[in-house]
Structure 1
């Protein structure tokens, strides 16, 4: 249950502004507190629409349209939805056919844009990096394109995603079951101007973070490509899975009590495994014998304060793939430490369905700042127990399309699938030379250091904005409205 803060209670003037509306939602969103604080600022405030430029004035989403998806990258463009835009690794986006994409050229996102989810969960945001050019977005993503002659894009993004921007944006949501906002709802949002020095510093931090995230993405892709190319398995980098004959009418001999499910013997996946067996390799079970190859621990969730001193941030399968997971905080005192993951553990989403765009079967890599997060039992945990094969090297292998297809083929269960760990232990892992393994390991580790650095820079940008607001209102930074 959300309650009003005693430091900033709902005031009679707020009720009058809302026509004496007595339901709690408008007053608990933080929008009124943010608006009142912005009114106290001693600096100029410009309407958002005066600071944007481009299609429809620079604030737009798009019409509803029929989506035609394709499998061939030459026949389509990567397509971003309101959840996809939160993801850290954009390698596996669905492809929207050129025929449809060409009708809506303005839906191609541009570096420096701020993306805002405008249908369903309102107010989630992402900053478009240089490497995201060439991606189209859905009508459920609102685009805000800064006018470079009026404002720096990084500063505008920081304000919009701040404790002041988000509550005001979300307060305009309408609808019963599915919430929406439209461009005209936020056109008058007041954006404070703190002068070139402050705004440029904030912008530079956001741009540096965007560049680091682009390098993070390219580092992951390079490591995987390096591993398969060095192992002379280049053809597994471009599987064209759906172009291969369907897995029907095949026979399988040598069955064991381990499994009788046809999916576990599908020819397309078996051909990948056979290719991996042709090169020097170790079995995953042998690599993880003194490490870990098991599901996470089950535990009772006891909610805790949003404070890393006393609580863990609990990350589930969906948000594990985001740049900055949101979510539940659970009490450290009531939660076993086994919910944490040791450094360089691979977590594979191990419960779900076989839909092409589902996360089931996809891996994440736990290192750096993410070692402080708790993870649900729905992940298969893979941790190397041999010094010759690092967790980073394993991750470069597991994030490939080839391993995604293999992991899907090891499914067990009914509607909700799970991964058969006994079959998983038999996966052959290419074993390159020590020098090759070291090079690939360092590429992955460097990429994740850049990801953590990007997070820090984005947080520094928000801190600079908070200090600027505090300085021009006389409110101490600790007394500012709680972040949304």
Structure 2
């Protein structure tokens, strides 16, 4: 529900149904309209718990857990937070100890489930993909497990994501907005049965999920190619910064005195790029852009340029977070994201998103970038954009070199000039670089396709409901 000033006229019958509540919450969320429209729908309606595996026990709140972190999947399970379930790339998430999962079997999830955030920003949803199967997931996410003999899992997800499903999910009993979502809050949520539309929606959602998985496999293959050709290890260290000591020559210390820049992991990464005949990104024709810090005035859609933050670029669904007033941007396009840019989060705590990167597919073309995003734009055919992205963002060597440039004690940031000094390997032949480039570009196309398929499924269900279930 928007927090902007709103005015709405409601019938007195709604106030009666809500127990004469006079606060705005129940009437502004959209839940009342959704319930009324579904009530008038001639199609059969089932309660959500009638379509889940084992009734209400198929809507799971995993319960509180002890968070015991480990370094790798040998000793732990990848752990999805309520933010991670919405991300496109799950390769860098934390791992929780297997002993924790043994204490609570409901911690692990399977594919084809619907995941719903139950605290904080309630009602954000994800469809559990094949690459999420067997991962652990936070107790802040509800698991909706469909009974596949009664309903297709993709349809349940698509329906809950519609403009009718979302208000019902985020509203509590009788439409009151709640601070936590529990299974009984959505157990009796009405689910219209739409016949062939259910099969079509499921097929679209499943194709969208499969496209995301294939996209991830292509990115992984691209990173592995760089590692194999250049002789890089898959992993240099479990984190960007670990307790260690090292030495550095006086010339290097004159440029950077902070100890973290000279940590042994970063020094090893630098040595590996030298063996791979690395040259600086700037020498390879890579341009760097950073948005100016300016007064940000946001306007309604249609009156400004879509704006995205360093957190938003990692989402599997790319949508404008706000719209930046066009007059503020002027003719200088240093703020602009171009397709095939490598986008790097430049601010935050080391070990978080800082130094992590995203490939700019066509969905991001023309967006205005937050000042907290660095944009790297190759201009030489000898260093295709997908190859630059693969080295920096799909190898641990590239990540360690980006992370080492972080400066500042409170909120570290990546200086653009230091990033452009990072050496990119020239060992791969031009043909190999082009092969890696094609893998990355295909991965970006699949991400876009996945988002389009999911939107198509949701629109299909919404249209069927609006047309009376036909």
TM-score band, normalised by shorter chain:
over 0.9
What is the match of residue 152 of structure 2?
152
Mapping of residues 187-206 of structure 1, within 5 Å: 187-195=187-195, 197-206=196-205
After superposition, the Cα gap between the structure-2 partners of 1:124 and 1:83, relative to the gap in structure 1 and judged at 3 Å, is same
SS of equivalent residue, structure 1 residue 380: strand
Match in the other structure for 1:274: 271
Q: Could you tell me how far 1:315 is from its partner in structure 2?
A: 1.2
Shift of 1:55: 8.9
Match of 2:380 among 386, 389, 400: 386
Structure 1 runs, 4 residues or longer, greater than 6 Å off: none
Q: CA deviation at 1:49?
A: 0.1
Aligned partner of residue 101 in structure 1, secondary structure:
helix
Residue 446 of structure 1: which of 442, 445, 451 is its match? 442
CA contact (8 A) 2:338 2:366 kept: no
The residue aligned with 2:349 is 353
Closer/same/farther in 2, CA of residues 242 and 384 from structure 1, 3 Å limit? closer
C-alpha distance in structure 1 between counterparts of 2:357 and 2:71, whole Å: 21
Distance 1:254 1:333 in 2: 45
Matched with 2:260 is 263
* Contact 1:302 1:334 (C-alpha < 8 Å) held by counterparts: no
Secondary structure, counterpart of 1:74 in structure 2: coil
Give unmatched runs, 5+ long, in structure 2. Answer: none
Q: Conserved in 1, the CA contact under 8 Å of 2:305 and 2:367?
A: yes
Confirm or deny that 1:465 pairs with 2:461.
yes
Contact 1:119–1:178 (CA<8 Å) still a contact in 2?
no
Structure 1 residues 131-185: Cα deviation after superposition (integer angstroms, max 9, x where no partner): 21121101001000111111100111001111111111111299x9992110110
Give the aligned partner of residue 136 of structure 1.
136
* Structure 1 residues not aligned, in runs of 5+: 475-484
> The residue matched to 2:299 in structure 1 has which SS?
coil
- Report how many residues are paired: 462
Decide whether aligned partners of structure 1 residues 276 and 261 sit closer, same or farther in structure 2, where only a CA change above 3 A counts. same
Tell me the alpha carbon deviations over residues 273-321 of structure 1, each in whole angstroms, 9 at most, x when there is no partner.
1111111222112124xx5224223333222224xx4433321111211
Structure 1 residue corresponding to 2:396, chosen from 395, 401, 411: 401
Change (3 A) 1:4 1:34: farther
**Aligned to 1:77, what secondary structure does the other structure show?**
strand
The answer as to whether partners of 1:303 and 1:328 remain within 8 angstroms in 2 is no
Matches within 5 A, 1:293-312: 293-306=288-301, 309-312=302-305
- Aligned partners of 1:449 and 1:95: how far apart in 2? 29
Closer, same or farther in 2 for the Cα pair 1:473/1:12, shift >3 Å?
A: farther
Q: Deviations over 1:7-52 (max 9, x none)?
A: xx32222211212212212211111111111111111110000000
CA contact (8 A) 2:246 2:262 kept: no
Asked whether the equivalents of residues 115 and 127 of structure 1 are also in contact (C-alpha less than 8 Å), the reply is yes
Report if the CA contact (8 A) 1:48-1:191 is conserved.
yes
Residues in 1 aligned to 2:341 and 2:163: alpha-carbon distance in whole angstroms: 33
Q: 1:223 maps to which residue?
A: 222
Q: What is the TM-score when the length of structure 2 is the normalising length?
A: 0.92
Q: In 2, distance between residues paired with 1:334 and 1:454?
A: 34
Contact 1:120 1:178 in 2 (8 A): no
SS at match of 1:269: helix
Matched, 1:285 2:282: yes
Q: Does 1:31 align with 2:31?
A: yes
1:333 to 322, 326, 336: 326
1:372-400 CA-to-partner distances (Å, cap 9, x unmatched) read: 43220111221112111111111111112
* Structure 1 position 363, deviation (Å): 0.6
Q: Secondary structure at the match of 2:283?
A: helix
Alpha-carbon spacing, 1:365–1:189, altered in 2? closer, same or farther (3 Å): same
Distance 1:172 1:97, change over 3 A: same
Following superposition, the deviation at residue 250 of structure 1 comes to 3.9
Shift of 1:423: 2.5
C-alpha distance in 2, partners of 1:56/1:137?
19
Question: What is the aligned partner in structure 2 of residue 479 from structure 1?
Answer: none
Distance 2:337 2:370 in 1: 10
Within 1, Cα distance between the matches of 2:143 and 2:459? 24
Instruction: Kindly state the Cα deviation for residue 359 of structure 1 after the two structures are TM-superposed.
Output: 0.8
Q: CA contact under 8 A between 2:60 and 2:144: conserved in structure 1?
A: yes
> Cα gap change, 1:335/1:48 in structure 2, threshold over 3 Å: closer, same or farther?
farther
Match of 2:48 in 1: 48
**Corresponding position: 1:376 with 2:370:** yes
- Residue 75 of structure 1 deviates from its aligned partner by 0.5
Is 1:241 equivalent to 2:243 in the alignment?
Answer: no
Structure 2 Cα separation of the partners of residues 267 and 239 of structure 1: 10
- 1:424 corresponds to: 419
For 1:482, the equivalent position in structure 2 comes to none
Q: Deviations over 1:328-376 (max 9, x none)?
A: 321453342543212211111111122x3x2111111112122143220
Paired residue for 2:361? 367
